[in-house]
Amino acid sequence: MGSNMAECHPVAFRWPMKAKLNGAKLIHVDPRFTRTSAVADLHVPIRAGSDIAFLGGLINYVVNSRRWNTDPFFKEFVVNYTNAATIINKDFKDTEELEGVFSGLGSFSEPPGWPYNGFQGRYDTASWQYERDPKPPGPKTEDLIARRAGPPFDDLVRSLKPGPAHRDPTLQNPRCVFQILKRHFGRYTPEMVEQVCGSPKDKFIQVAEALLANSGRDRTSAFAYAVAWTQHTYGVQMISCCALLQLLLGNVGRPGAGVMALRGHAAIQGSTDVPTLYHSIHGYMNAPSALRPHESLRAYMAAETTPTSYYGNTPKFLVSYLKSMYGAAATADNDFGYDWHPKILGDHSHIATFAAMAEGKVKGMCCVGQNPATSLNGSATRLALRQLDWLVVKDNWLTETATYWYQAPEVKDGRVHSGDIKTEIFFFPSTQIAEYDGSFTNTQRMLQWHSKAVDAPGNCRTDTWFYHNLARRLKKAYAGSTAPRDQGWNNLLWEFDPDPGVKPIYPGEPDALKILREINGYMTADPHQHLPGFAALKDDGSTTCASWIYCGCYPAPDQNMSARREPDPPGVPGAHLKWGWAWPANRRVMYNRASADLRGNPWSERKRWVWWDPTFVNPPDPKTGIAPPHGKWVGYDVPDFAVTKAPDAKPKPDGIALDALSGTDAFIMRGDGRGWLFVPTGLLDGPLPTHYEPHESPVQNMLYPEHQMSPVHKVWSAGKPWNPLASVGDPKYPHVITTYRLTEMYLAGAMSRWLPWLAELQPELFIEMGKALAAEKGIRNLDWVIISSPRGHIRAKALVTDRIGVMQIAGKPIHHVGMPWHWGWAGLSTGDVVNDLTAWVGDPNVSIHEGKAFVCNVEKA
Amino acid sequence: MPEAMGFFTDTTICIGCKACEVACKNWNQLPATNGGVTELSGDSYDNTRKLDGTHWRHVKFIEQFEGPYNGRWLMMSDVCKHCVQAGCLEVCPTGAIIRTEFDTVVIQSDVCNGCRACIAACPFGVIDMNPAAGTAQKCTLCYDRMEVGLEPACAKACPTDSIQFGPIAELRTRAQKRVDQLKAQGEKRARLYGDDPNGPLGGLNSFYLLVDEPEVYGLPRDPKLPSRNLKSSGVLSAATGAVLGLVALVGLRKRRMDEIGGGGERGSEN
């Protein structure tokens, strides 16, 4: 669901096809019959944007099914490995009680410093929390912050420990998570799914039965999703809903299970790990923010550390990161330079930045490997670009972003005159991947190193060259400044030049392995002593490590683990641990403690992955000389657990981080060691997934008529003329449109539309529409069609097909159309910009736009 | 002499990604049509349309639907069949077309005089002129790669192993197992095309697993050699004339078909 894997991840799709040859059943739930559906055993049509209703229907079906209620595996997994038994605060009110919203909903007002956050509302999450015993006695966090305690910061972390949460392992307490979720999804029946999603009831039941039959001790099922689950105003909740279902089915932390995010295109996984994102620093730590209690190093630690999970080590990750930023200048006395670190003011994501840009609040922009002129709400994006003083485009070709000032549709039709655009545009020709050294991180979180194979043509330069030299020039520009705001630049550690005598791959190119070393980490006193893994990180400045999750990928100067290419031999149920290197700690299946039962035995021989070997003789501790008791977690994969912690181990009363968890707390990144069916913290739009309609929808919300859409989703530039939005059921835009990608093309086209061999495979933009709609509109195959949304209109050729079509939604026929969005005016294969139709509305958690479900009209041109 | 080598294409796991087409063009340095600036065909996702002198691999897309979402979408990567009894080889007047030590059929470009006889002789419509070279061209089964022990570029690039390369005898065993598996799973229409050494053209060294009649995939049910028309060597010239006439007819019919297809009715044929 939410993925067209065969078309968009064809190389990874090799494995579902291998599984199919081994007898696996493949199901594709999608608004279109795609190349994935073509090889699936079952395709189930679904109205774009209604996935939570479908998944919620599966949850309801599962928890009321005979199989789930009679096979003891499910209860054992769910009671012990999830928070099903945990009791929630008595003030909590569910959407069933409040007609579509949770307790705590309030309004949001934009902060004056950065009024581009777009929230339509805001939840106070206090009532979503676990019911707990009082906090244990001990030093108060505020006091420790005030007296600048630490390093070490263990006392600060310990002071954050809450009292134990209340539980009812019988799952009968009406306020336990399981009973809450059972009520929450009680109305998500197969009949309701058919009405809301347009998915035939019999096919929905086939899916539910297939999942039940293929889950349990001896079998697992996996879900794969991609951006079709993210690009919604409730995308995170779709994924959360799937995780909930998979936890109920015991399909997490086990081989052949899980919720697989299909990503990795253009190193997207890597770009969030070692982030180009605004809201996190390395390793998914939140970026210091002016809007959170982040005013000092210790305040940040207090706000961002979960004391009773592996995240209890956050101070070690953070201090090692600050050492990588500021080197020797970062000391315990100056809080490791924390005050030099920039803080965010709010939502600086893509759309928020363009919303600010449209109002003239952004002076300049570097577009590297990105083509926003064909991006979301394209005409608004280009309006924003025209407000810039300067724009840098670094790409392989003169993309639409480099040429919008004289070739955009609004320039060609005379609405905008090139001469009126004040922006100065600089173009830097860019290298391709084969022309430099570096690493890719794929969707399995696996780093794979690649070496330069050929010289780049002409003066093309790498992205690392660009930023390396930009940073050096900026450091020079700030040198000598005494302004406090410039001290981050002055103290920035930036030592990536090749060693003397080593020839760079291009003049002025940094040494890619030195960047990898900084990411992996080293002993501060000796950069040649690389860190073996994140367990070695310290909170006193003695270790330097940019990204704790990558620690261990380059453990010695002669051991670049990401360059390894040794597969396991055929026939061995291995994890290919010597192929590349996967974070964290080269682990291939996360939370794999859950692949064994409470006592540490594999759930079944067939699904053996990681287990407890009670006879294993542990070597003595090199420091103390004392050998731990016998027993160790072993298996095919790197265990995701304290390796000598026995299954019957109890939490240490005063323990922090992993010491606060027991031998059955498999979900070591969660404060209670359990997989979360109910999400008390971390999500802005509710602890349980709830069906809402897309911002633009032709139908009313059938489940919650009082709340059509997510009450806290984002609308940027609300009310501005460049972001008009359709109202519910707007007769001018009666059809559902979804946008997508094709195998033959890549992203915004810079890597495909200019290549003759790819251009001829998909030479023009098209719209896919059903035969009924085509007949109604008098449109024949290949006719030119005008597609319009409140944001604009475009032209495309019609592909009339039965692979997409009409669905009955609440008894009303709703036509679906679909358009691939790769095109623009430049290159060999050209077409209108499909994103000229999309809106600046998005998800409250991650600020992604809603490109997968909105409304449009189509007419014959 | 090495064993007979070839392709087994399992169309049931083809995902229509066209990596085979691109890998072929890349390895064999075949130009894109009109430099890549072409028009949408309107025939499903097939913008290649046919095998010819610059397209040695062609992924076909066959939409079989009875109403919205109700049906199936077949995909098949087509290529030269490397017939054991090859019509092209039979008619080539210059000896440019040879049978290699791998039992594959290869046109030697430097010996081809561009007479086009092979184009007419091929019962599968595989061969055509490469305008850049001025000679008739088709898949060589990557003869140059095979010589150094590499598999053909298309098979190497195929992400799902829909295209499998290997000794023909081994491929036939594997293919039969897959047919049996599909039949056991309820796909009664599963069958092999061109795997039978006693069948048409002595078997095809590029054979297929299909889940419908060959005609559905645009494959002739009973491909024939041009020599079947030859009563004796004495009437060769007459027969050649007839063949050429047939070619002209086929060509005309094909152009008409293309025009119809271009008119937009192809999508509803199935």
DSSP string, A691-745: ----SS-SS--SS-TT--S-TT-EETTTT-TTS--PPTT-TTS-EEEEEE--TTS
Q: What is the pLDDT of residue A622?
A: 87
Residues of A with CB below 8 A from B260's CB?
none
Three-state secondary-structure class, residue B243: helix
Instruction: Identify which of A13, A781, A807 has the shortest CB distance to residue B160.
Output: A13
**Which residues of B fall within a CB distance of 8 Å from A763?**
36-40, 47
Element containing residue A807 per DSSP (H, E):
strand A806-809
Report which of B86, B16, B40 is spatially closest to residue A796, judged by C-alpha positions: B40
Tally of CB atoms within 10 A around A120? 18
Contacting B residues, span 11-40, partner chain A, CB-CB under 8 Å: 12-19, 21-22, 25-26, 31-40
Flag whether residue A366 sits within 8 Å of chain B, measured between CB atoms.
Answer: no
Q: Which residues of B touch A795 (CB under 8 A)?
A: none
pLDDT recorded at residue B261: 39
- Between vectors from CA A601 to CA A596 and to CA A604, what angle results, nearest 5°? 75
In this complex, the residue of A13, A763, A806 whose CB is nearest that of residue B47 is A763
Subunit contact A757:B25, Cβ cutoff 8 A: yes
What's the confidence (pLDDT) of residue B237?
54
- Which residue among B25, B36, B67 places its CB closest to the CB of A828? B36
> What is residue B41's predicted lDDT score, i.e. its pLDDT?
98
Q: Do A756 and B36 touch (CB under 8 A)?
A: yes
Residue ranges covered by each domain of chain A: 5-88+174-263, 105-159, 350-471, 597-666, 714-860
Partner A, chain B 34-73, Cβ-Cβ below 8 Å: 34-40, 42, 44-45, 47-48, 63, 65-73
Q: Lowest mean pLDDT: which of A335-339, A556-560, B69-73, B264-268?
A: B264-268
pLDDT of residue B26: 97
State whether residue A37 sits within 8 Å of chain B by CB: yes
* Cβ-based contacts of B22 with chain A (< 8 Å): 757-758, 761
Among A18, A26, A736, A803, the strongest candidate for a mutation testing the B interface, having the largest count of B CBs within 10 A, is: A803
CATH class of A350-471: alpha beta
Minimal C-alpha gap between B229 and chain A (Å): 39
| All domains of chain B in start order, with CATH | 5-226 (3.30.70.20)
CA-wise closest residue to A461 among A432, A482, A437: A432
pLDDT at B253 over 70: no
Q: What is the mean pLDDT of chain B?
A: 89
Burial profile A409-425: b = 16 or more Cβ within 10 angstroms, e = fewer = bbbeeeebeeeebeeeb
What is the Cα–Cα distance from A785 to B163, expressed in whole angstroms? 37
CB pair distance less than 8 Å for B15 and A20: no
Residue of A nearest to B58 (CA): A761
A220 to chain B nearest CA, in Å? 21
Q: Which of A797, A809, A800 is nearest to A855 (CA)?
A: A809
Closest partner CB to B75 (pick from A20, A38, A829): A38
Distance, in Å, from the CA atom of A81 to the CA atom of A597, rounded to the nearest integer, reads 10
Higher model confidence: residue B5 or residue A266?
Answer: B5
| A-B Cβ pairs (cutoff 8 Å, strict) | 149
Quote the minimal CA–CA distance from A428 to chain B in Å: 25
Distance between CA atoms of residues A794 and A826, nearest Å: 16
Is A828's Cβ below 8 Å from some Cβ in B? yes
> How far apart are the C-alpha atoms of A312 and A158, rounded to whole Å?
9
Minimal C-alpha gap between B176 and chain A (Å): 13
Question: A763 and B71: CB-CB below 8 Å?
Answer: no
Percent of chain B with pLDDT over 90: 81
Averaged pLDDT in 10-residue chunks for chain A of 861 residues: 97 95 96 98 98 98 98 98 98 98 97 95 98 95 97 98 97 98 98 98 98 98 97 98 98 97 83 90 94 96 98 98 98 98 96 98 95 97 98 96 97 97 96 94 93 95 96 96 96 96 94 97 98 98 98 98 95 90 97 98 97 96 90 97 97 96 98 98 97 98 98 98 97 98 95 97 98 98 98 98 96 96 97 98 97 98 96
Quote the pLDDT of residue B268: 36
Distance (Å) from the alpha carbon of B188 to chain A's nearest alpha carbon: 15
Report CB contact under 8 Å: B15, A17. Answer: yes
Chain A residues lying within 8 Å of B68, measured CB to CB: 45, 770-772, 802, 804-807
Residue A25 contacts B, CB cutoff 8 Å: no
When scoring A32, A46, A761 by the number of chain B Cβ atoms within 10 A, the one with the most, hence best to mutate, is A761
| CATH, domain A5-88+174-263, list 3.30.479.10, 1.10.1060.10, 3.50.50.60, 3.40.228.10 | 3.40.228.10
Are the beta carbons of B18 and A761 separated by less than 8 Å?
yes
Query: d(Cα B194, Cα B200) in Å, to the nearest integer?
Result: 7
- Residue A117 three-state SS: coil
Residue of B28, B69, B70, B177 to mutate for A, most A C-beta atoms under 10 A: B69
Query: In the prediction, which pLDDT does B228 show?
Result: 73
- Per-residue pLDDT, A33: 98
Nearest to A17 among B13, B37, B44 (CB): B13
Using CA atoms in the order A73, A79, A81, A83, what is the torsion angle rounded to 10 degrees? 150
- A714-860: which CATH architecture? Beta Barrel (2.40)
What's the pTM value of the predicted model, to 2 decimals?
0.95
Q: What is the pLDDT of residue B230?
A: 63
Torsion angles phi and psi, residue A812, rounded to 5: -115, 130
Instruction: Please check whether residue B202 touches A, CB under 8 A.
Output: no
How confident is residue B229, by pLDDT bands cut at 50, 70 and 90?
low
| Bridge partners, B98 (sequence order) | B106
Q: pLDDT (tens digit, 9 = 90+) per residue, B13-45? A: 999 999 999 999 999 999 999 999 999 999 999
Q: Note the pLDDT of residue B269.
A: 32
